[in-house]
């Protein structure tokens, strides 16, 4: 008799003794399926890869998101003159970056994304050769939390680091923010944006690390059926 398969991802393994779902079903909010053995060292990478492989634009970015981004950009624009290298952590398929690059003209942009599928889509979406002069920058597929040492050479040259709705996927968000503090050049900026439920925690962490808050921007993002969810962005300057 063959091993049972997870009804979400097709993985095989042993049925969980408590009847709980395969991790992919939990992540996708699906119904309980069959638990299968997972290499926990690559769990986050594997599950994000599975998530993006199911469809294009799985986060359902639309004009509501873009309107919130536009309003955010208007708030932070006075602080973002003469941008050099801009890094985006967790760039996904490039939807935020595409909007950002339509408003700002940094000398170079590089996005980092854990999912190979999403990184490939972002690379196609963000073809702006004139904005990447002689540097060959674009999108790099990498688990920045596990491979922070490879990120150092980029962070030390950055004038702006962007983390939009990504830090809550990290196993230790404060540790990653400390890493940024240690390596971002003096006067460079950090843009952290999260839903309203998370921004207070992020604001406290940034302030505790010695960053100077330049401005805060909060705008309605989407309606989840019961209430509006807001996107709050905090732009801070490295000490």
Structural domain contains residue 140: yes
If you average pLDDT over residues 61-78, what whole number do you get? Answer: 86
Name the strand (E) or helix (H) holding 228: strand 228-237
pLDDT of 131 reads 44
Nearest to 160 by CA among 73, 219, 218: 73
Structural domain contains residue 20: no
Structural domain contains residue 41: no
pLDDT of 158 reads 95
Name the strand (E) or helix (H) holding 236: strand 228-237
pLDDT tops 50 at residue 25: no
Structural domain contains residue 19: no
Q: How far apart are CA 215 and CA 79, in angstroms?
A: 9
CA angle 79, 155, 127 (to 5 degrees): 75
Structural domain contains residue 165: yes
Name the strand (E) or helix (H) holding 160: strand 158-164
Weakest mean pLDDT among 45-54, 199-208, 211-220: 199-208
pLDDT of 136 reads 46
The SS3 of residue 55 is coil
Q: Tell me the range of 11-20, 39-48, 127-136, 181-190 where mean pLDDT is highest.
A: 181-190
pLDDT of 186 reads 92
Please list, in sequence order, all residues whose beta carbon lies within 8 angstroms of the beta carbon of residue 135, skipping any fewer than 6 positions away.
Answer: 108
CB atoms within 10 A of CB 234: 23
How far is residue 178 from each of residues 91, 137, 205, 207, measured CA to CA in Å?
A: 20, 25, 9, 11
CB atoms within 10 A of CB 11: 20
Structural domain contains residue 130: yes
Please list, in sequence order, all residues whose beta carbon lies within 8 angstroms of the beta carbon of residue 145, skipping any fewer than 6 positions away.
Answer: 170, 171, 172, 176
Q: How far apart are CA 187 and CA 182, in angstroms?
A: 13
CA angle 133, 233, 168 (to 5 degrees): 95
Domain that holds residue 83: 63-237
pLDDT tops 50 at residue 223: yes
> Where residue 139 sits, what CATH number does that domain have?
3.40.50.150
- Give the tens place of pLDDT for each residue, 54-69: 777 766 677 778 888 8
Q: How far apart are CA 100 and CA 205, in angstroms?
A: 25
Phi, psi of 31 (to 5 degrees): -80, 160
Counted domains in the chain = 1
Q: At what angle do helices 173-183 and 148-155 cross, to 10 degrees?
A: 40
Weakest mean pLDDT among 42-56, 110-124, 173-187: 42-56
Query: Higher model confidence: residue 188 or residue 133?
Result: 188
Q: Give percent of the chain above pLDDT 70.
A: 66
C-alpha torsion 159→164→167→168, nearest 10: 170
Structural domain contains residue 54: no
- Give the tens place of pLDDT for each residue, 149-194: 999 999 999 999 999 988 878 888 888 888 988 999 999 999 988 8
> Could you tell me the pTM of the whole model?
0.75
pLDDT of 15 reads 37
Structural domain contains residue 39: no
């Amino acid at each position: 008799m063959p091993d049972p398969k997870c009804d979400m991802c097709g993985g095989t393994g042993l049925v969980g003794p408590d009847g709980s779902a395969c991790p992919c079903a939990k992540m996708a909010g699906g119904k309980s399926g069959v638990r299968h053995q997972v290499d926990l060292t690559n769990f986050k990478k594997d599950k994000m890869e599975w998530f993006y492989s199911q469809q294009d634009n799985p986060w359902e970015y639309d004009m509501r998101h873009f309107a919130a981004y536009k309003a955010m950009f208007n708030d932070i624009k006075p602080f973002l003159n003469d941008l050099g290298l801009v890094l985006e952590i967790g760039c996904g398929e490039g939807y935020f970056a595409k909007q950002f690059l339509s408003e700002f003209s940094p000398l170079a942009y590089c996005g980092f994304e854990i999912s190979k599928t999403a990184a490939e889509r972002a690379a196609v979406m963000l073809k702006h050769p004139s904005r990447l002069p002689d540097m060959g920058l674009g999108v790099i597929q990498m688990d920045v939390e596990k491979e922070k040492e490879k990120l150092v050479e980029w962070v030390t040259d950055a004038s702006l680091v962007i983390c939009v709705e990504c830090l809550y996927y990290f196993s230790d968000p404060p540790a990653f923010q400390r890493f940024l503090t240690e390596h971002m050049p003096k006067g460079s900026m950090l843009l952290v944006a999260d839903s309203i439920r998370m921004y207070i925690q992020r604001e406290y962490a940034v302030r505790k690390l010695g960053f100077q808050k330049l401005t805060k921007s909060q705008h309605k993002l989407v309606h989840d059926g019961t209430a509006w969810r807001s996107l709050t962005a905090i732009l801070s300057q490295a000490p």
